Amino acid sequence: MLRVLVVDDQALVRRGFAMVLSNEPDIEVVAEAGDGIEAIDAARTHKPDVILMDIRMPELDGLESTARILTEVGDETRIIILTTFDPDEYIYRALRAGASGFVLKDIPPETLVAAVRTVAAGGAMLDPTITRRLIARFAGELGTEQDYGERLDRLTVREREVLEAIADGKSNVEIADALFIGPATVKTHVSSVLSKLGLRDRAQAVVFAYECGLAKVGARDVGF
């Protein structure tokens, strides 16, 4: 059962969203709040799975409220930002604040419900126009058309496995252990990885792995 908190200063809007969500068998609206302060209190009290958060509110706006809930209360709660108007001015702040969703209030009810389920499952849901903008920004950032994949393709399967292990911060001995082979073999593989990719040492190999997408930020725990 997904536990949802609805935050909006307009009682009618609030009730509308709450009713739409309550109609779903797997969703329960555990509380409502009329401003940012109430929202933080309610988040602390009820620990909802998802919060629907309006931006324009008295006392404390939805973005500030979002940031404070995620840092002070806990980041297990997923927050979807709702807005009536043009998202331009808010979207960047919202994403930085840690929102998992950003949608316009005029979306159809089933989309809202889908958004709640999506963010609860760890995904993110943005308004399509925002997604497009993010993509454009992202694609623009990656200026050079170099295809690192091609360089990766030159590696054998085993070598790629070794490279992944290197990008995991493992030493040769640890790699040998993980792949059930001898340390000498690992050294052989490491050498061919470096020479095939034109790298000098394993540190550069780690950089390469991250840059070409073989290693992904957030996909691991830096515990070492």
- Per CB under 7 A, the list member of 130, 189, 208, 209 interacting with DNA is 189
DSSP code per residue over 85-129: S-THHHHHHHHHHT-SEEEETTS-HHHHHHHHHHHHTT--EE-HH
**Which position among 13, 60, 95, 179 is part of the footprint of a copy of itself (CB under 8 A)?**
95
Question: Total binding residues for DNA by CB under 7 A?
Answer: 26
143 binding partner (options a copy of itself, DNA, none; Cβ < 5 to 8 Å by kind): a copy of itself
Cα separation, 34 vs 32, whole angstroms: 7
- Give yes or no for residue 121 binding DNA (CB under 7 A): no
Query: Strand (E) positions, the chain?
Result: 2-7, 27-33, 50-54, 78-83, 101-104, 125-126
**Other C-beta atoms lying within 10 Å of the C-beta of residue 48:** 25
Number of residues that bind a copy of itself (CB under 8 A): 70
Which of residues 60 and 95 has its CB atom nearest to a copy of itself in the complex? 95
Closest to DNA by CB, 33 vs 190, is: 190
Residues in touch with DNA (CB under 7 A): 156-159, 171-173, 176, 179, 181-185, 187-191, 194-195, 200-203, 205
